[in-house]
């Protein structure tokens, strides 16, 4: 059955590719029907030497000096490196660092003044319990001008939530509260200990939702009174103990009545897998939004797939007035391990994670319309790509976090990858996305002490960096702001007229 579904999916991809749209009058050359069209780079760009998204073994051995196509570095503030997430409010950026204490002068979330994007300045670090190591929960709410995060120490902390006021001066966030929520000694069955990993605000800023990947649940915290956050609801996946599915990242609809969650699945033996469990769970959160007594979250629908794993996060968007979901995986079809890569390749499935676009106009029956697969994702290239990763156990190639230019009218998707850099796509035609730019920063001689990569791969000198954080597109300046773990905060500028679109 799995192979029949795979053949059907491949046939659909071939059909879509045959109808591929143009490239603003330019031809990027022959296309692989299973991958997005490659970017047409400028004459002075340092283009990739191998497949799309690849850093070949020989290039690594010589010390990776970076690639770029239609994106160039404007400014950088490396500091002590970065971790998983980066948030923006106006001319300020905030990014987390790891909990490692070795060779550190300060810890916590770094606040950056980017009012002059050509010379960004580190201003301070926030080190309250939720900000010490927020993992992927670090987010901004524009409406209430808040910066928030939950304690996610080493990916499974708790139970604090920290809220900061950004309204007076975004370079100097003011602490509103650092509160323990869901303490284990409570007699209320809803109030059990909160464990942090991911998180996000409802758009109105009255509710902060967090997720525990290890605990397999999502929880809702009422922050109407930002000085007294209160846990009001919790939803468990209710799956068997031997099922690897957990809840990772998510995003909510504008009205707060829907939550688009990621089912962190796969990772088992590809050859014997019967039913995929990695993908999308759409939850009804209207009882929480309306503050009904004892509110519960209810499942509306699910959509699982076999060609990815380790579901990471979602983005709710409209493209041409129609609702879609950008969905990003963190692991390949066989999981995030050497054995998983080999099993995926043997099964002719993508070994590394990617983003995909899902039509949610019928929320009871969401359907995938395209994948943003690079040439490294094509199973036909597995044998030629695998030598790049000799001796590397996890987080090698593939997507982690993505962002769009405008959720209400999305035209551009920017994604950060493990070892494949920052990559930007034109998604104006959601059935036929195409790549327009990339920037893969040079490797560093010594791993930055505040990066997660430093704790996992400290001896990988001059190896490709991990660009794992949210990205922020500025159409006015034609810039992109983000972090990569060893390179820290970076401002990139689009070149050769590829973006913003005319």
pLDDT at 190 over 70: no
Domain boundaries, the chain: 2-494
Q: Taking the chain, what is the end-to-end CA distance rounded to the nearest angstrom? A: 46
HEC readout, 395-437: CCCCEEEEEECCCCCCCEEEEEEECCEEEEEECCCCCCCEEEE
Tell me: pLDDT of 32 over 60: no
Task: Give percent above pLDDT 90 in the chain.
Answer: 79
Could you tell me which residues come within 8 angstroms of residue 88 by beta carbon, excluding any fewer than 6 positions away? 94, 140, 472, 481
Q: Which of 12-16, 183-187, 228-232 has the lowest mean pLDDT?
A: 12-16
Q: If you search the block for the tokens 């400028």, which residue do you land on?
A: 42
- Res 133: pLDDT: 97
d(CA 357, CA 359): 7
Q: Residue 132: what pLDDT?
A: 97
Q: Is a pLDDT exceeding 70 seen at residue 243?
A: no
CA 289 distance to own-chain centroid:
25
pLDDT confidence bin for 33, thresholds 50/70/90: low
**What pLDDT, on a 0 to 100 scale, did the predictor assign at position 3?**
42
Question: Could you tell me the sign of the dihedral formed by the alpha carbons of 390, 79, 96, 280, in that order?
Answer: negative
Per-residue pLDDT, averaged over 321-340, amounts to 94
Distance CA 230, CA 161 (A): 10
Three-state SS for 259? strand
pLDDT range class, residue 25, cuts 50, 70, 90 = very low
What mean pLDDT is reported for the chain? 90
Backbone angles phi, psi at 339, to 5 degrees: -65, -35
- The CATH number of the structural domain formed by 2-494 is 2.130.10.10
State residue 237's pLDDT score: 79
The CA dihedral of 128, 130, 131, 137, to the nearest 10 degrees, is: -170
Residue 10 has phi, psi (to 5 degrees) of -65, -40
Mean pLDDT of 219-223: 97
pLDDT of residue 13: 39
pLDDT mean over 38-50: 97
Model pTM?
A: 0.91
Q: What mean pLDDT do residues 405-413 have? A: 98
Residue 219, pLDDT > 90, answer: yes
Least confident residue range of 153-157, 226-230, 234-238: 234-238
Q: Residues 421-448: what's their mean pLDDT? A: 96
Contact 416, 481 (CB under 8 A): no
The mean pLDDT of 375-397, rounded to a whole number, is 93
- Distance in angstroms (rounded) separating the CA atoms of residues 194 and 175: 21
Using pLDDT thresholds of 50, 70 and 90, give the confidence band for residue 22. very low
Residue reference for tokens 């897998």: 273
- Confidence at residue 150, expressed as pLDDT on a 0 to 100 scale: 97
Average pLDDT over residues 458-475: 92
Instruction: Return the structure tokens found at 208.
Output: 């902060």
Weakest mean pLDDT among 29-33, 37-41, 65-69, 290-294:
29-33
Can you give the pLDDT at residue 19? 36
Confidence at residue 8, expressed as pLDDT on a 0 to 100 scale: 41
In this model, does residue 474 exceed pLDDT 90?
yes
Q: pLDDT tens across 245-276, in order?
A: 789 999 999 999 999 999 998 765 676 666 88
> Which residues, 6 or more positions from 402, have their beta carbon under 8 angstroms from its beta carbon?
313, 315, 326, 328, 355, 413, 414, 415, 416, 471
pLDDT of residue 28 exceeding 60, the answer is no
pLDDT band per the 50, 70, 90 thresholds, residue 185: low
pLDDT tens digit sequence for 88-142: 999 999 999 999 999 999 999 999 999 999 999 999 999 999 999 999 999 999 9
Which pLDDT does position 234 carry in this prediction?
92
Between 239 and 89, the higher pLDDT residue: 89
């Amino acid at each position: 059955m799995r192979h029949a579904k795979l053949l059907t999916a491949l046939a659909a991809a071939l059909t879509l590719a045959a109808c591929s749209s143009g490239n603003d009058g330019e031809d990027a050359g022959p296309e692989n029907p299973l991958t997005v069209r490659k970017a047409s780079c400028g004459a002075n760009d340092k283009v990739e030497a191998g497949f799309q998204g690849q850093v070949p073994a020989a290039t690594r051995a010589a010390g990776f000096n970076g690639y770029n196509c239609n994106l160039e570095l404007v400014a950088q503030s490396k500091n002590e490196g970065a971790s998983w997430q980066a948030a923006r409010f106006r001319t300020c950026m905030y990014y987390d660092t790891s909990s490692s204490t070795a060779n550190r002068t300060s810890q916590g979330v770094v606040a950056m003044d980017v009012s002059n994007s050509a010379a960004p300045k580190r201003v301070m670090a926030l080190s309250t319990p939720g900000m010490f190591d927020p993992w992927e929960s670090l987010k901004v709410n524009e409406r209430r001008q808040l910066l928030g995060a939950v304690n996610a120490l080493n990916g499974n902390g708790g139970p604090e939530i920290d809220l900061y006021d950004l309204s007076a001066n975004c370079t100097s966030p003011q602490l509103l509260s650092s509160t323990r929520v869901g303490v284990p000694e409570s007699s209320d069955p809803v109030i059990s200990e909160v464990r942090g990993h991911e998180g996000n605000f409802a758009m109105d800023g009255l509710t902060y939702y967090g997720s525990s990947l290890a605990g397999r649940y999502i929880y809702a915290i009422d922050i109407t009174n930002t000085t007294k956050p209160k846990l009001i609801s919790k939803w468990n996946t209710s799956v068997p103990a031997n099922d690897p599915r957990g809840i990772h990242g998510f995003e909510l609809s504008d009205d707060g009545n829907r939550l688009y969650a990621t089912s962190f699945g796969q990772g088992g033996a590809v050859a014997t897998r019967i039913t995929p469990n990695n993908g999308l769970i759409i939850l009804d959160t209207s009882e929480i939004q309306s503050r009904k007594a004892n509110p519960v979250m209810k499942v509306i629908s699910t959509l699982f797939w076999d060609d990815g794993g380790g579901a990471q996060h979602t983005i709710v968007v409209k493209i041409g007035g129609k609702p879609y979901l950008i969905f990003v995986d963190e692991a390949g079809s066989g999981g995030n391990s050497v054995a998983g890569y080999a099993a995926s390749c043997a099964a002719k499935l993508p070994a590394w994670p990617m983003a995909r676009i899902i039509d949610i106009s019928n929320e009871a029956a969401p359907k995938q319309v395209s994948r943003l697969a690079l040439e490294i994702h094509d199973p036909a290239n597995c044998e030629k790509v695998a030598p790049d990763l000799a001796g590397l156990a996890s987080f090698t190639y593939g997507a982690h976090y993505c962002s769009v230019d405008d959720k209400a009218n999305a035209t551009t998707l920017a994604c950060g990858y493990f070892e494949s850099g920052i990559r930007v796509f034109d998604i104006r035609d959601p059935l036929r996305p195409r790549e327009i730019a990339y920037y893969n920063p040079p490797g560093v001689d010594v791993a930055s002490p505040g990066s997660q990569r430093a704790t996992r791969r400290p001896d990988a000198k001059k190896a490709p960096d991990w660009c794992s954080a949210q990205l922020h597109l500025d159409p006015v300046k034609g810039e992109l702001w983000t972090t990569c773990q060893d390179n820290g905060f970076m401002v990139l500028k689009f070149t050769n007229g590829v973006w913003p679109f005319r």
